[in-house]
Structure 1
Amino acid sequence: MNPQAIINHGRRTVFSRTLRPFDHGVCMSTRDIGEQNVLNVEQFIDERRFSPYQWLILFFCFLIVALDGFDTSAIGFVAPAIAKEWGVTKIALGPVLSAALVGLAIGALLAGPVADRIGRRKVLIGSVCFFGVWTIACVFATGVWQLSVFRFLTGIGLGAALPNSTTLLSEYVPARRRSLLLNVMFCGFTLGASAGGVVSAALIPDFGWRSIFLAGGIAPVLLACALVALPESVRFMVIKGWPDDRIRRVLRRIASGELVTASKFSVSDRVGEKETAPLALILSTRYRFGTLMLWLAYFMGLLVYYMLTSWMPTMIHDAGFTLRQASLVSALFPAGGVIGALGCGWLMDRFNPWRVVALAFLLLGAAVCAMGQGTANVQSLAIATFVAGVCMTGAQMSMLALAALFYPTHGRASGVAWMLGIGRLGGILGALGGGALSAAGYSMIAILTSMAAPAFVAAMALLFAVSVSNKQGSLQAAVVEPSP
C-alpha cells in the first residue's frame, strides 16, 4: 500500500477518492492505492438507490421488531385469564409481568459486545430462535414462578434481538435515508402490539391463554429459519477481514448486478478503533460523554413511557371518568405512534438529529403537562393524550437511530444494546413508580405533571451533548453530527 495515497484527517484515515464514470457497469467509489483498487463500502451504499436486496433486509428486521411488539402487548391480555385459571390475584402476577423487562435489560447488555465480536447475523438468528423457544415453553408452565422464569428467558432473547436488528439495518441503509428507514422498522413494534390485542381477542375465548404463547413462539422459530437468507453486515465483514469474494458478492446484490471490480475494501472508522474492545470504545474519551447522555435520555424516556402505558387507564378512571372513557382515551396514546416515528425520522435526515429528538422530548413534556390539566373534559384530555403519544413514540424510537448514527462499526452493536439495557431500568422504575404514586394517594394531575420532568431531562441531555461538543472544537463535532 502506497502511504502517499492516504490522507490523515485528525484521527480518521481516509483513502484519497478518485471517481470515474460508469464504464460498462463498473462501480464507482474506488480508490487507487498502488496497484490495488480499494472500495469504501459505506460510500458504495450511500451512492446507490435502495435496492430490492436492502428492502428484504428491512422486511426481515421489521418482522423481528413486530414480534417484539406482539409479545409486549400480548402478556397484558393473557394476565387476567391466567389469574382466573390459577386462582391468583393480579398483584401475584407481578413477577410474570416484570420478569421479561429484567430479561430484556440483561439480554441487551450481553448481546451487544458479543455481536461486535462474532457478527450481527449470528446473534440475531440465535436470539430470535431463543425467545421463540422459551415463549413456547410458557405453554407448559404450571405456576407463577415457573412462568416468571420462562418469561425472563424470553426477555433475554428479545433484548438481544432489537439492538442487533437496529445495528444490521443501519449498516445497510444509505446515510441520506438512514433515520427514516430505521424508524420504518420500529413501526413494526406498533403493528405487532396491535396484532397482539387482535389475536388475543380471537384466540383466548376459544383456545385459552396458552394459545397466545404458542402462536407467539412458533412465529419467531419459523422466522429464525428464514433469517438464514440475511447477510452479515458488510461493514462488519470489512472490519474483521472476511474474504473479499464474500464481501464482493453482497455488494453485487446491493448494486443489482452491477460489476464490482475492487480488489480490496475499506470503511471510514478511525485508526485504532477496531483494536479496542467494544465496551472500552463506547466509554472512551471520544464517545464517553455522548454515551452517558444517550443513556440518560433513553432511561428517562422509558420511565415516562412505561408509567403512562401501565397506569394511564387507572389514573384516568380514578380522576372521575368512566371505564369506557378511560379505555378510549388511553387507546389514543399509541395511535399516533407511526406519525411520530416517521416524522422524526424524516426530520433527522434533514436537520441535526440530536436537536430533532430533543425537540420531540420537549413537546412530550408539554403534552404530558397538558394531560394533567385536561381533567375538566374528555375532549381536551383526548387531544393532549394523542399529541403526547405522537411525541413519545417519535422521540423514543428515534433514540435507537440516534445511537446507530453515533457509534462506529466496531462498537455500534454494543452502543445501541447498552443504551437499550440501561434504558430498560427506567422502564422498570416507571412501571413500579406509577403504582407506588397511585397507592400513596397522589392525584392524576400531580403524577402527570411530575412525569413531564423526566421528558425535559431527556431533552436537556441531548441538547447539552450538542452544546458541549461544539465548544470542544471540530475534532469532537463528529460526536454529535450525522455521518457524511
Structure 2
Amino acid sequence: MFFDIYEVFLTSAVSGALTSEFHLTSAVLAPVLASTFVGMFIGSIVLGRMADRVGRRRAFMINLALYSLASLAGAFSPNAVWLMISRFVAGLGVGAELPLADAYLSDMLPARQRGRYTAWAYTISFIAVPIVGFLARGSVGHLAGIAGWRWIFALGALGSAIVFLLRTTLPESPRWLEAVGRGPEADSITSRIEAEALRGGHRLTEPTRRDPEAPVRPARAGVRVLLTPPLRRRTLMMAVFQVFQVFGYYGFGTLVPLILAAKGYALSTSLLFTALTFLGYPVGSLLSLPLVERFERKYLVVGSVVAMAAFGLAFGFSNSMVPIVIFGFLYTAASNVFANGYHIYQAEIFPTAVRSTAASGTYAISRLATGAMPFILLPILAAVGAGWVFVIICGALVVVALDIGLIGPRTTGLSTEDVVVA
C-alpha cells in the first residue's frame, strides 16, 4: 500500500522537474499526469475482478510485478512518450492495490478490530506522501550525474520488488476460498491461524456449526449481482462517491505544486511548501486510529469531508506562507481521516464473493476521474486562479457528503456478513 500511495503522488510531485527535463508544455503535461491514472483505471477493473476469480494472493503478486518493472523502465525514459507509456503500465500494476488490500483486510480481520487495524495499515502507507514530497525537492538536481527524478522512480521499483518477495508468505483468504466452494483449503488455513492464536495464549470461541447435510454451494460471484437488489443501491452510491471524491482528495495532492507556482512561488519554494503540507497525510491517518471504531464509519466520512471543504477554501484563497502551510496541513490531515474511513467502508459493505470486484470496480471510476481531472482543473487554475479551483472542489465534496450521508448503511462493529444483509 505504501507504494500505491508513492505512485499516486509521484508524477505530480516531480512534475516541475519533468517539465524542465523534457520541455513539456501544459498541453503535454496533462496527458503525462493522466496516463498513470488511466492505467490504474484499467488495472483496477481487471486485477480487482481477477482477485475474486483466482484469489487475493495471486492478484497481489501480479500487480506488484507489473508496477516494479514499469517503474524501473520509467527511470530510463529518454522522452515524454516513453515516460507516458511506462507510467501507464505502472498504473496497470498498482491500480487495484488499495481496493485489493481493503478486500483482503476485510476478509481477514475480526469485526471489532477491522477498522483500527486497517487504519494502521494506511497510516504506515501514507508515510509515503511526505517522503515523496521531500524527495521531490531533489528531483530538480542530479546525483552521480543522473537526474534526481530518475532515482525517485528507481526507488519505487526497488521497494516494490522487496514487497513482492515478502508477499509470498501471505495466506490466501479463507473467506474467499469458502465463498468459491474450496472449503477444505479454507479450513486448513483457518486451522493454522487458530493454532497460532492458541500458541499466543488466546482463547477461541466455538464457531457456529452448519448442518453437515446441507450442500455447500459457491456464492454468486458474477458482476451482475452488483447491479441487482439489494447491492445495486450501494454500487451506485459508491460509483457517485468515487467520481466526486477524487476532486477533493487527489485534486489537492496532484495539483498543489502547480497551485503554489500559480500563486507566484518559485519551484524550490513550492516544493518545500508541498512537502510540509504533505506531512498532514500520515498525521491525519494516525488521528483516525481512535476514531474509526468509536464513530459510525459513514458519519466519520461525512464529517471529514466537511472539514476538507472548509480547509480547502481557506487554502485556496490564502496568499502568504503561514496560512498556506497551516491550511494545507489541516486539509491533508482531514483528508486522511476521510481516506481511512472510506477505504474500510467500501470493502465491508459488499459480500466476500464480489468484495474485490465491487471495491476495485467502483474505485476504478476514481482513477479514471483523476485522469480526467487535470484537463478540468488546470484550465480553471490558469483562467481564474487557485481560489476558484477550491470552490469547485468544495462543491464536489458536498456531493460526496450527501451521497454517503443519505444512502450509506451503518457498518461499525458489524461482521461483513451482517453488513451485507442489513
In structure 2, the partner of 1:205 is 143
2:393 is the alignment partner of 1:451: yes
Match of 2:374 among 424, 431, 435: 431
Could you tell me which amino acid in structure 2 is paired with residue 421 of structure 1? A
- Please state whether the residue corresponding to 1:346 is helix, strand or coil: coil
Aligned residues: 405
In structure 2, the partner of 1:184 is 120
Contact map agreement 1:273 1:410 (CA 8 A) in 2: no
Task: Identify the structure with bigger relative contact order (alpha carbons < 8 Å, sequence gap 6+).
Answer: 2
Shift of 1:136: 2.0
Contact map agreement 1:190 1:337 (CA 8 A) in 2: yes
Shift of 1:400: 1.2
- Provide closer, same or farther for how the CA distance between residues 76 and 360 of structure 1 changes in structure 2, counting only shifts above 3 A: closer
Q: Deviations over 1:450-484 (max 9, x none)?
A: 221111110110111148x9xxxxxx994597xxx
Q: Distance in 1 between matches of 2:219 and 2:284?
A: 38
Could you tell me which amino acid in structure 2 is paired with residue 210 of structure 1? R
In structure 1, the partner of 2:101 is 165
In structure 1, the partner of 2:9 is 73
Farther off after superposition, 134-143 or 102-111? 134-143
2:288 is the alignment partner of 1:344: yes
Q: Distance in 2 between matches of 1:339 and 1:179?
A: 17
Contact map agreement 2:50 2:59 (CA 8 A) in 1: yes
Q: Deviations over 1:378-423 (max 9, x none)?
A: 4444433322222222213321110122112111111211121011
2:67 is the alignment partner of 1:131: yes
Contact map agreement 1:115 1:123 (CA 8 A) in 2: yes
Q: Distance in 2 between matches of 1:195 and 1:313?
A: 15
- Provide closer, same or farther for how the CA distance between residues 157 and 173 of structure 1 changes in structure 2, counting only shifts above 3 A: same
Q: Distance in 2 between matches of 1:223 and 1:69?
A: 14
With normalisation by structure 2, the TM-score equals 0.84
Match of 1:110 among 39, 43, 46: 46
Runs of 5+ consecutive residues of structure 2 not aligned to the other structure: 411-416
Match of 2:361 among 413, 418, 432: 418
2:228 is the alignment partner of 1:292: no
Larger radius of gyration: 1
Could you tell me which amino acid in structure 2 is paired with residue 358 of structure 1? V
In structure 1, the partner of 2:175 is 235
Q: Distance in 2 between matches of 1:78 and 1:216?
A: 14
In structure 2, the partner of 1:389 is 332
Could you tell me which amino acid in structure 2 is paired with residue 407 of structure 1? F
Q: Deviations over 1:251-300 (max 9, x none)?
A: 3234446798989987xxxx999532342233221121122222222321
Q: Deviations over 1:324-381 (max 9, x none)?
A: 7755554443222233223335323122211111111112122223334544x54444
Contact map agreement 2:174 2:189 (CA 8 A) in 1: no
In structure 2, the partner of 1:217 is 157
Q: Distance in 1 between matches of 2:295 and 2:100?
A: 26
In structure 1, the partner of 2:87 is 151
- Provide closer, same or farther for how the CA distance between residues 143 and 466 of structure 1 changes in structure 2, counting only shifts above 3 A: closer
- Provide closer, same or farther for how the CA distance between residues 192 and 204 of structure 1 changes in structure 2, counting only shifts above 3 A: farther
Q: Distance in 1 between matches of 2:80 and 2:265?
A: 33
Shift of 1:301: 1.6
Q: Deviations over 1:23-46 (max 9, x none)?
A: xxxxxxxxxxxxxxxxxxxxxxxx
Q: Distance in 2 between matches of 1:455 and 1:272?
A: 44
Could you tell me which amino acid in structure 2 is paired with residue 137 of structure 1? A
Shift of 1:122: 0.7
In structure 1, the partner of 2:403 is 461
In structure 2, the partner of 1:407 is 350
- Provide closer, same or farther for how the CA distance between residues 432 and 480 of structure 1 changes in structure 2, counting only shifts above 3 A: farther
Q: Distance in 2 between matches of 1:444 and 1:213?
A: 29
Could you tell me which amino acid in structure 2 is paired with residue 178 of structure 1? R
Q: Deviations over 1:93-151 (max 9, x none)?
A: 44332211101111111122211121101100111112112222224443322332222
Contact map agreement 1:71 1:196 (CA 8 A) in 2: no
Q: Distance in 2 between matches of 1:477 and 1:82?
A: 49
Shift of 1:78: 4.9
Shift of 1:199: 4.8
Shift of 1:162: 2.2
Contact map agreement 1:238 1:265 (CA 8 A) in 2: no
Q: Distance in 2 between matches of 1:479 and 1:181?
A: 21
- Provide closer, same or farther for how the CA distance between residues 463 and 259 of structure 1 changes in structure 2, counting only shifts above 3 A: closer
- Provide closer, same or farther for how the CA distance between residues 166 and 71 of structure 1 changes in structure 2, counting only shifts above 3 A: same
Farther off after superposition, 341-350 or 408-417? 341-350
- Please state whether the residue corresponding to 1:165 is helix, strand or coil: helix
Contact map agreement 2:48 2:100 (CA 8 A) in 1: yes
- Provide closer, same or farther for how the CA distance between residues 232 and 346 of structure 1 changes in structure 2, counting only shifts above 3 A: same
Shift of 1:168: 1.3
- Provide closer, same or farther for how the CA distance between residues 260 and 188 of structure 1 changes in structure 2, counting only shifts above 3 A: closer
Runs of 5+ consecutive residues of structure 1 not aligned to the other structure: 1-64, 470-475
- Provide closer, same or farther for how the CA distance between residues 123 and 90 of structure 1 changes in structure 2, counting only shifts above 3 A: same
Percent identical: 23
- Provide closer, same or farther for how the CA distance between residues 104 and 212 of structure 1 changes in structure 2, counting only shifts above 3 A: same
- Provide closer, same or farther for how the CA distance between residues 451 and 84 of structure 1 changes in structure 2, counting only shifts above 3 A: closer
Q: Distance in 1 between matches of 2:267 and 2:87?
A: 30
- Provide closer, same or farther for how the CA distance between residues 412 and 381 of structure 1 changes in structure 2, counting only shifts above 3 A: same
- Please state whether the residue corresponding to 1:347 is helix, strand or coil: coil
Could you tell me which amino acid in structure 2 is paired with residue 100 of structure 1? T
